Amino acid sequence: MTNEYIQQVLSDQFGASVWGFEESFGIFSFNMKPEINMQVLQFLYEDAGLAFQFLTDITAVHYPDRKDEELCVVYHIHNLVANKRIRIRASVPLAQPDIATATTLFSSANWMERETFDFFGVNFIGHPNLVRILNVDEMNYFPMRKEFPMEDPTRTDKDDEMFGR
């Protein structure tokens, strides 16, 4: 199974809704429109020539400078027979970070999506129990978003005077 074959099959099936095909760090990857995430995942799962039936990870990346594409949901899936991995990206706006849940296809997506919701605020539509999993329920922000300064400017324990300078 070659990257060219995967790209051709996906392009034939989904056209311009999938793009940005590349190999980076030994993993073939591409972008997809967020509205078709489940159609793409289902196709990759069910197509006999592809058979990507193992979900390795779901996470997100916050790109604050990308207007209407601030949150990028990233899926890593694996064909265990061919030992081929792919990365799939779908960007959603921070104002409405909605994407369909993958729990209907991969039961292992349950906790991965909860973690991604907990840290980035991605709303997985249709998830059976989308609540915080690692942070306290009272948190009113998402700690992995790049919305806060790297360090608290009011801290005094790192002033030069504390180190004899």
For 36-57, give the DSSP string.
GHHHHHHHHHH-TTT---EEEE
pLDDT at 84 over 90: yes
The percent of residues in the chain predicted with pLDDT above 70, rounded, is 90
Q: Structural domain of residue 122, as residue ranges?
A: 3-143
Token reading at 21: 């095909």
pLDDT digits (tens, 9 = 90+) for 19-68: 999 999 889 999 999 999 999 999 999 999 999 999 999 999 999 999 99
Instruction: Enumerate the β-bridge partners of residue 84.
Output: 79
The reply to whether 164 falls in a domain is no
> How far is it, in rounded angstroms, from Cα 156 to Cα 159?
5
Q: Provide the pLDDT confidence category of residue 12 given band limits of 50, 70 and 90.
A: very high
Q: Please, what is the end-to-end C-alpha distance for the chain in angstroms?
A: 61
The reply to whether 118 falls in a domain is yes
C-alpha distances out from residue 128 to 87, 96, 112, 124, Å:
24, 19, 13, 9
The reply to whether 148 falls in a domain is no
| Domains held by the chain: number | 1
Mean pLDDT of the chain: 90
Please, what's the b/e burial string for 4-41 (b: 16 or more CB within 10 A of its CB; e: otherwise)? eebeebbeeebeeebeebeeeeeebbbbbebebbbebb
The reply to whether 158 falls in a domain is no
The reply to whether 44 falls in a domain is yes
Q: What is the CATH number of the domain that holds 120?
A: 3.30.460.80
CA of residue 124 relative to chain centroid, distance: 11
The percent of residues in the chain predicted with pLDDT above 90, rounded, is 75
